[in-house]
Structure 1
Amino acid sequence: MRDRGIFVHRKYLKILSMKRKAFIRLLAVTALFPFSVTGNAYSETVSSKSYGLSRMTDVARFPVLDREMKVKYEGSIDKKGGNADWDWSLYQDKKREWVIFDVAGAGCIYNMVQHRYLSSEEPVFRFYFDGEETPRFTIRLSEFGEKYPFTEPQASCYIGPLDNGRGPIRVVRSFVPMPFRNGCRITSSVKLEGPHRDKGQGGWGHVVYHSYPTAQGIETFTGKEDYSSLVRQWKQTGVDPKIGKDRMFRMSEKKLAPGESLSIIDVHEGGVINSLKLYMAGMNPDRLQDVWIRVKWDNHEGEDVLCPIGCFFGNSLGYNNTRYLLMGATTDGWFYNYFPMPFWERAHVMLENRSGETVTLGFVEVGVGENSYDREYSGYFRSSDYYTRKHTPGADSPIASIKGTGKMVAAHVTCYGERPHIITCEGDVRIHIDGIKTPQVESDGSESYICYGWGFPTPAECNPSGGYDGLSDNPWSMTRLCLGDSYPFYSQLDFNIESGESNNQYLEHLGIVFYYGQDKVSLVKTDSIDMASKKSLKRHKYKVEGDVSVEMLTSCFEGDADDVEVTAMVHKFTGESSFRVKVLPNNHGVRLRRCSDQELPRQCARVWVDGQDAGVWYLADSNPYKRWIEDEFEIPESLTRDKSVLNIRIVPESREEGCPVSWNESAYEVFCYME
């Protein structure tokens, strides 16, 4: 046994499996450390494909990694790259409704946010599923939080302050999962445009969703689902939501001198840390960044988690209490983290005092359960490298860059402006997944990423999935838990945040991303086609038919590089294109990435693979200013397995009657999903 902390030696592992009564008698004799045994944690090996309500409520399955699933975003991002994030609509449909979300194929909406001035006309939102002409669900802006199933706590409303006459503004948010088998369209009865409250304008927001290569196993949203399990879970925020019993390892008061480390738990067998709580007596907010947590799984060479406790528990400032579903911090020194953390050989958790003063650790409790996760298909709970407080002139702050395979489940960012009362909310979050140039998740301002709005004027604000602490607007510390809408990645994930409207403001960010991951890469590039290269076109047997035009385009991609011009050739056509690409025979599906010109909306084509219909490739959005975009199409394993070559046809088609045929391509990249 070590002098400090909780240490479980191999010879004591058998003790843990003894009957409770016998173990208590032995514990009284040996007095190794004060803990009690209350049973085993709930943990099960489940299918990697999960969606909807079960995905949100089954916290124990978080470590199970996803396959062939993607996170996507549609929202009101200023197309010129500035801060004019209103004017959000994709197009006006034949019913004269303003379409704000329109996708093809199978998927599930997990988060929807809308901002609107109270003085403006109230919009009515209509949800159309699976190509239906009649809306399956209709809701007014003021009904969020009241109309089932968009009721508290899974849907709610925040009304911002008057702010010297600029406000107030209503921000509605929903975390109601809304799956669909064959596409979804959301419309607004009112065009969302303009920033002027006195003119009845305003309106911006976003939708975050998952997409799937097939509809197998998906049942479309009805609005009559039983959400009682989610309601119970979210109303008990602050309590471990996982079902089952754990061995509770407890430690009483310890003092930690400057520069000293303390072993909290060191278990030499497999298990799952289901909860980690601690109490810091006489808690000083500075300790949130001075005391660090170090976590190693299975004798890994480096730490899997290494960060200040403020990040680990979701608040780097400590001005107010913040309680989220799976992490939280209070001003009187209580902290909790309930993310399940599996290990197969060893778990070692330590605290390190990096301050210049002695820290009193009043209490520690760690809940450990049995591990029945499949190691091959599950990820370790990890943090990205801690991004220390700094400013990056003229560029996004690179909060996290992760390599391997996994899924992001939480993000934590803290921001300091150069002056006490400066508004520091305008920077957009921009997340690139698997090396794609176009951000796959964004936000119209930092505050909108955590589903609030109008800056950070009224701290602390919390809902089970996210919130913020701070002073009014500066500084602030925000946390977003991705409970249903985790961000799967198969080779890398890059999480960036902007400083001001266009990286034109002096802001200092710090932050971290938490994820479940493995070191191996499971998305492998196998081929690419360059439309400007005759050699590449010949090698891939590329052909294009119909009304064809070829032009050179000079423009930019959206995001941090929206001032970097790229010149490349674009093929635009109404007939079809065909080409042959190389893949790996032992693949588990193929991703086709296209670079194209997004000047015109509603690009649509049907994809054929070796003569079989693979589905519709549809891009409803557009940008006439930053015209380059990379988007992707998933080819299911049933069409790609045991093949080394795929023959692909892209046949443009009209999305609906009266909609012009629009399609173009500048380059393709081919990726294979591997075990």
Structure 2
Amino acid sequence: MMKRITPIGLENMERFDLLPLLRNGVQVHYEGSIDKQGYNADWDWWLYQDREEWVIFDHVGPGCLYNFVQHRYPESEEPTFKFYFDHEDEPRVVIKPSEFGSKHPFVTPLADAYIGPEDNGRGPIRVIRSFVPMPFAKACRITTDIRLKGAAKGDGGWGHVVYHAYADANGVSTFTGSENYEGLLQMWSSVGEDPKPRVYVESQTIHPVEIKPGEAVAVFEDHGQGSIVSITGGSLKQDETRELWIRATWDHHEVPDIDCPLGTFFGSELGMNPIGVLSHGQTADGRCYHYFPMPYWEHARIELVNRGDGPARLPLLEVRSTRDRNPIYLRGSTGYFRTSPYYERKATPGADSIIARLSGRGHLVAGHITGHARHAGIISCEGDVRVHIDGGATPRVESDGSESWVCYGWGFPTPPETNPSSAYDGLPDNPWSMLRLCSGDWYPFLTELAFGIESGEFNNQYIEHSGILFYYGVDEPGMVLTDQLDIGNRASEQLHEYRYEGSRGYYTLESAYEGDHDNKLVRDTGHETEGFSEFTVSIRPENRGVRLRRRSDQITGRQRANVYVEGIPVTEKCWYYADRNPYKRWLEDEFDIPASYTEGKKDLRIKLEYVQAGETRAWNEFYYWVYTIL
């Protein structure tokens, strides 16, 4: 069985120095109150009813919860949330929104409550949020005792869960509530200080830095193997946050790995107020800090570039580095710290603003997004964030509004606001600039990641966006497409020796996927069975697991199947998708087969055995993509 190379859950968040390591067998997912018709009614948050409880999250297989958020009016009835783990009948956590911030382990600053303003009668709103890591070896389910639906002031509220799903349960110990969070709490209570374990550093201080217009000045250069520990500096003037850029190149790469405005690098794209999260930002007195570790193996060069019309002067800039041969940063299994190309301020009328498209293999660790509406006083935060990973047509991560992505959930009426994992700056509602750190719930990708955001409720508003993503990555992809099975295509079915029992027949569907292209119809023919289907696919023997992607009809939720590989059941999990969408019916979901079932094989016989769950009547399948994980 392949071992996971890094800790998970609590250890994953405590060891900030492990962020550069590339991880196998991890996917990020979102479950929440997204309007199924693609508009702005993002307030129905339930999957199904189970006896007297409403299920809002349901996952089968190993994973870890990292972010839990609920918004509601104070006039709404207070729900009771119950967290069930590993198919247990009794919940391990029972908690009310009023207890977030004070009930162990959901204590400040890992969990808290944010109260929005009156905002001309729209508010106030109560937002509870938790970043407490809660791993599980077999399954997790979250319920509430009232149905969370409706936008009126007496209704129940809305929210989301962001979590990791693992290919196997190696190293996973299910959450008990008795874990020792003291180290993590201390780290999260010390924003502005370096969250990494202390290492021996060689520091280089530039004092001061003066740069002429159009000039680039090197502030750090090193030959050999090392890692940047921190970059800190004095206060920045507002114009310097945009006109001074930082550029870093690792190991003689042709394209700089970091290339962005200095203000954005230090957490504040607008530069109106000092805001900061655990990894980077500005303290209340204006001191700038950046603590993401940045390993390199041959060479490092960091420059400041003056893109303004006048001279620029920094009173202090310090780059701290280490030459220690840290064994955790092994070349090939460690990503370079990088920024996406800076997305210059512009509007994309009628379509999502695609802030970045990342390629290769890696994981996103932070994002900065800024929005400008045409006029003052316009609420411009309703656009959903939508993240597509590895070319999947269904968004893997979404948000019910821009502000919900950073876990505030009631516009941007009171800047500046900040907590250890997210913050926002600007003027009330316009312009706004949001910052999200993903220290636990980073977004892994094996071939690409596309990060977009709507302009308004359903791309019906004129908003100019700008922004950037921070990530760790390498250019080489982490998986490759090795086979495709087109259900309903006789030649493809024969080629893959497709067979089934318990057939309910073939049918043709014309519908759309959720997301930016939900007005584009796709027509395909598929098959459904209340028994099983099986087929043979080609992979590479030198694999680290296999990923199956399926196009299916999500008119009903709780699609479930047991998975067999060469006749052997995959015991770590079943293929299960609990949500549904009767309007935008196309879904692309995935199943990662652990390497223990696939190593050394060039062909696999896959069997999918339908398991009845809830309202489903059969397992449906229209298309399969087969990826070999490298």
State the TM-score, normalizing by the size of structure 1: 0.91
2:320 to 354, 364, 367: 367
1:241 to 163, 186, 195: 195
Counterparts of 2:167 and 2:305, CA distance in 1: 45
Counterparts of 2:21 and 2:184, CA distance in 1: 20
- Corresponding residue of 1:218: 172
1:642 matched to 2:597: no
After TM superposition, the structure 1 = structure 2 runs for residues 93-492 of structure 1, keeping only pairs within 5 Å, are 93-94=50-51, 96-197=52-153, 200-244=154-198, 245-280=200-235, 283-329=236-282, 333-369=286-322, 370-372=324-326, 373-492=329-448
Counterparts of 1:662 and 1:88, CA distance in 2: 25
CA drift at 1:662? 3.3
State the TM-score, normalizing by the size of structure 2: 0.97
After TM superposition, the structure 1 = structure 2 runs for residues 54-69 of structure 1, keeping only pairs within 5 Å, are 54-69=11-26
- Please say if residues 88 and 192 of structure 1, whose CA atoms lie closer than 8 Å, have aligned partners that are also in contact: yes
Amino acid at match of 2:7: S
Counterparts of 1:377 and 1:492, CA distance in 2: 17
Assess, with a 3 A threshold, how the Cα gap between structure 1 residues 49 and 610 changes in structure 2: closer, same or farther.
Answer: farther
Unmatched segments (≥5 aa) in structure 1:
1-45
Deviations 1:373-412 (A, max 9, x none): 1112001000111111110111110101011011111111
- Please say if residues 415 and 428 of structure 2, whose CA atoms lie closer than 8 Å, have aligned partners that are also in contact: yes
Aligned to 1:360, the other structure's residue is in SS state strand
Amino acid at match of 2:160: H
Amino acid at match of 1:579: F
CA drift at 1:223? 0.8
**4+ residue runs over 2 A deviation:** 46-50, 329-334, 658-662
Deviations 1:54-81 (A, max 9, x none): 1001011111101111111101100000
Deviations 1:21-72 (A, max 9, x none): xxxxxxxxxxxxxxxxxxxxxxxxx953421111001011111101111111
Amino acid at match of 1:443: S
1:633 to 588, 591, 595: 591
Assess, with a 3 A threshold, how the Cα gap between structure 1 residues 148 and 335 changes in structure 2: closer, same or farther.
Answer: same
Counterparts of 2:373 and 2:330, CA distance in 1: 45
2:490 to 534, 543, 565: 534
Assess, with a 3 A threshold, how the Cα gap between structure 1 residues 226 and 331 changes in structure 2: closer, same or farther.
Answer: closer
Seq. identity, %: 52
- Corresponding residue of 1:76: 33
- Please say if residues 233 and 287 of structure 2, whose CA atoms lie closer than 8 Å, have aligned partners that are also in contact: yes
Deviations 1:416-450 (A, max 9, x none): 11111101110111111111110111100000000
Counterparts of 2:423 and 2:456, CA distance in 1: 20
Bigger-Rg structure (1/2):
1
Aligned to 2:574, the other structure's residue is in SS state strand
After TM superposition, the structure 1 = structure 2 runs for residues 563-582 of structure 1, keeping only pairs within 5 Å, are 563-582=519-538
- Please say if residues 430 and 441 of structure 1, whose CA atoms lie closer than 8 Å, have aligned partners that are also in contact: yes
Aligned to 1:448, the other structure's residue is in SS state helix
- Corresponding residue of 1:25: none
Counterparts of 2:59 and 2:208, CA distance in 1: 55
After TM superposition, the structure 1 = structure 2 runs for residues 649-668 of structure 1, keeping only pairs within 5 Å, are 649-655=607-613, 660-668=616-624
Counterparts of 1:381 and 1:176, CA distance in 2: 25
CA drift at 1:660? 4.7
Range with bigger deviation, 228-237 or 201-210: 201-210
Aligned residue pairs total: 622
- Please say if residues 20 and 293 of structure 2, whose CA atoms lie closer than 8 Å, have aligned partners that are also in contact: yes
CA drift at 1:202? 4.4
Amino acid at match of 2:189: K
Counterparts of 1:220 and 1:414, CA distance in 2: 38
Aligned to 1:455, the other structure's residue is in SS state coil
Counterparts of 2:120 and 2:296, CA distance in 1: 53
Assess, with a 3 A threshold, how the Cα gap between structure 1 residues 660 and 266 changes in structure 2: closer, same or farther.
Answer: closer
CA drift at 1:320? 1.3
CA drift at 1:371? 4.0
- Please say if residues 79 and 145 of structure 2, whose CA atoms lie closer than 8 Å, have aligned partners that are also in contact: yes
Counterparts of 1:73 and 1:310, CA distance in 2: 30
Aligned to 1:323, the other structure's residue is in SS state coil
1:53 matched to 2:6: no
- Please say if residues 75 and 88 of structure 1, whose CA atoms lie closer than 8 Å, have aligned partners that are also in contact: yes
CA drift at 1:510? 0.5
Counterparts of 1:253 and 1:170, CA distance in 2: 45
- Please say if residues 459 and 472 of structure 1, whose CA atoms lie closer than 8 Å, have aligned partners that are also in contact: yes
Aligned to 1:255, the other structure's residue is in SS state strand
CA drift at 1:594? 0.3
After TM superposition, the structure 1 = structure 2 runs for residues 514-553 of structure 1, keeping only pairs within 5 Å, are 514-553=470-509
Counterparts of 1:660 and 1:521, CA distance in 2: 36
Counterparts of 2:131 and 2:550, CA distance in 1: 31
Assess, with a 3 A threshold, how the Cα gap between structure 1 residues 463 and 446 changes in structure 2: closer, same or farther.
Answer: same
Counterparts of 1:49 and 1:643, CA distance in 2: 26
Unmatched segments (≥5 aa) in structure 2:
none
After TM superposition, the structure 1 = structure 2 runs for residues 595-614 of structure 1, keeping only pairs within 5 Å, are 595-614=551-570
